[in-house]
Amino acid sequence: MSNLNTRRAALNILVDIEKNQAFSNIAINKFLKKHEVSSLNRRFISQLVYGVLENKLYLDYIIKGFSKTKIHKIEIEILNILRLGLYQIAFLEKVPNSAAVNESVKLAKKTNQRLSGFVNGILRNYVRNRDKVKLPSYKTHPINYLSIKYSHPIWLVDKWVENYGIEFTEDLLKSNNKKPNLTIRTNTLRITREALTQKLKLEGVKCRAGKIAPEAIVIESMDKGIDYLEAFRKGLFQVQDESSMLVSHVLDPKGGELIIDVCSAPGGKATHIAQLMGNRGRIISRDIHKHKLELIEESSSRLGISIIETKRFDALKLDEDLIEAGDRVLIDAPCSGLGIIRRKPEIKYFKKANDILELSKLQKQILDISSRYVKIGGILVYSTCTIQDEENINIIEKFLAEKDNFMLEDISIDISDEISSNKKYIQLYPNVSNVDGFFICKMKRVR
């Protein structure tokens, strides 16, 4: 695949993400599965796509400074060609400016011939005058400065500054724009972490043990995609972030128990729970989307897990058959996903302030309904991959104020110093622990 085609691939993926609000990882994988792509080109395509998404507001700020046409009037393909060209010039030292400009112009000619001069003019103008691009003043407009420099929407920066202060927020924004390592969970039903690490190294994977979860392996680099690894095909591991692995440890399931996972897809936690249970007992895994349940079934089959029963079910409806049936109930609630911006940078552009309010109502409803499945003496765990209090501790406090038959439990798992908490819940931040932003809370039904 030529250089031109890698840029064309990146362009197609970016347009797909923007037009269809597709997740970046899914859009990239969809493209790579359809085309034969070398590992080198695969890396370059990913670098271009994630680079543009991470820096989109900054790149648009540059375009606004050099374009006479208002940005919302520029065709989506041409706009993304400009973003790709500017990203290469501003951030990729190994790509010569001339190559970034020329390849962008070629792309423009194939997309809309008459706008190729427009693309050429803006990119060359930026190359000549990049030193003149000035951000808003940090002193007088700190929110605007942070928003443009780190490409996070103003409403979100404003909210985080209010919650965490300006220094923590800048650190968080910086962290959100860093590419995270891929983390996998050893399938301890089949292999130890040490033995898996050795196997992966023989397959050309550079990796190390994770710091937080005992099954975690951090992949630093590899020559081919995950799907092509023999260790993956043989079901020796599952892709999962360390913070997500902690959820199942907090749940602390025992072999032989009935576990109800009410928002289960894509199944990382359910399959982990099955591991911790030694594949003994029963896990009811539910989700509203049939195609997502199929992902759980595929993973279970590959990992050699037989105790997961998938069922399409809406968590907002009460299942009379499960009232007081569960030894342990897990709610990994649908959320804004603002803790995983490192992995899906497009999230920061798709979400709006009002979404959090709507989500918090939904989360509280799911919590109220699902709590009825917990038997007396049973455990209820609530988790999200966000860092917003409105979706996390505020929901729990409201729930506990209304339900006097549940109590917050101490999270007594052997967690590393990196995430130690003096509170009865865990709130993880990417800039503090170098893991996905996650909230985990454990409650016990006392009567």
Question: For residues 218 and 239, what is the distance between their CA atoms, to the nearest angstrom?
Answer: 10
Question: For residues 321 and 372, what is the distance between their CA atoms, to the nearest angstrom?
Answer: 11
Name the residue among 271, 177, 260 with its Cα closest to residue 215: 271
What would the two tokens of residue 288 be?
């509203």
Could you give the C-alpha distances from 68 to 35, 106, 150, in angstroms and in order?
A: 38, 22, 24
Task: State the CB neighbour count (10 A cutoff) for residue 420.
Answer: 8
Range(s) within the chain of domains with CATH label 3.40.50.150: 242-445
Question: For residues 280 and 254, what is the distance between their CA atoms, to the nearest angstrom?
Answer: 8
Which one-letter amino acid corresponds to residue 48?
L
Tell me what percent of the chain is helix, strand and coil, each rounded to the nearest 5.
55, 15, 30
Range(s) within the chain of domains with CATH label 1.10.940.10: 3-132
What would the two tokens of residue 415 be?
């967690």
Task: State the CB neighbour count (10 A cutoff) for residue 353.
Answer: 11
Name residue 326's beta-bridge partners: 374
Question: What own/partner pairs with CB < 8 Å and gap ≥ 24 does 158-164 have?
Answer: 159/353, 159/388, 163/389
Does the annotation count 385 as an active-site position? yes
DSSP code string of 25-58: HHHHHHHHHHS---HHHHHHHHHHHHHHHHTHHH
* CATH code of the domain occupying 3-132: 1.10.940.10
Question: For residues 111 and 104, what is the distance between their CA atoms, to the nearest angstrom?
Answer: 10
CA–chain centroid gap for 207, Å, is: 20
pLDDT at 4: 45
Task: Answer for the pair 396, 433: CB distance below 8 angstroms, yes or no.
Answer: no
Question: For residues 266 and 297, what is the distance between their CA atoms, to the nearest angstrom?
Answer: 9
Residue 94, helix vs strand vs coil: coil
Could you give the residue ranges of the DSSP H alpha helices within 277-392?
A: 290-303, 347-350, 353-370
Range(s) within the chain of domains with CATH label 3.30.70.1170: 182-239
- One digit per residue, pLDDT tens: the chain, 447 residues? 444 489 999 999 999 999 999 999 999 988 888 888 887 888 899 999 999 999 999 999 999 999 999 999 999 999 999 999 999 999 999 999 999 999 999 999 999 999 999 999 999 999 999 999 999 999 999 999 999 999 999 999 999 999 999 999 999 999 999 999 999 999 999 999 999 999 999 999 999 999 999 999 999 998 878 888 999 999 999 999 999 999 999 999 999 999 999 999 999 999 999 999 999 999 999 999 999 999 999 999 999 999 999 999 999 999 999 999 999 999 999 999 999 999 999 999 999 999 999 999 999 999 999 999 999 999 999 999 999 999 999 999 999 999 999 999 988 665 555 565 567 899 999 999 899 999 999 999 999
Residue 238 backbone phi and psi in degrees, to 5: -135, 140
Task: Answer for the pair 193, 210: CB distance below 8 angstroms, yes or no.
Answer: no
The CATH class, in words, for 182-239 is alpha beta
Catalytic residue among 207, 335, 385, 441: 385
Residue 114, helix vs strand vs coil: helix
Question: For residues 444 and 405, what is the distance between their CA atoms, to the nearest angstrom?
Answer: 8
Q: How many helical (H) and strand (E) elements, i.e. helices and strands, does the chain have?
A: 19, 12
| Residue 357 burial class via C-beta count within 10 angstroms: exposed 0-12, middle 13-18, buried 19 and up | exposed
Name the residue among 25, 34, 78, 74 with its Cα closest to residue 53: 25
Under DSSP, the state recorded for 197 is H
Specify the CATH number for 242-445; select among 1.10.260.40, 3.40.50.150, 3.40.50.980, 3.40.50.720: 3.40.50.150
CA–chain centroid gap for 29, Å, is: 15
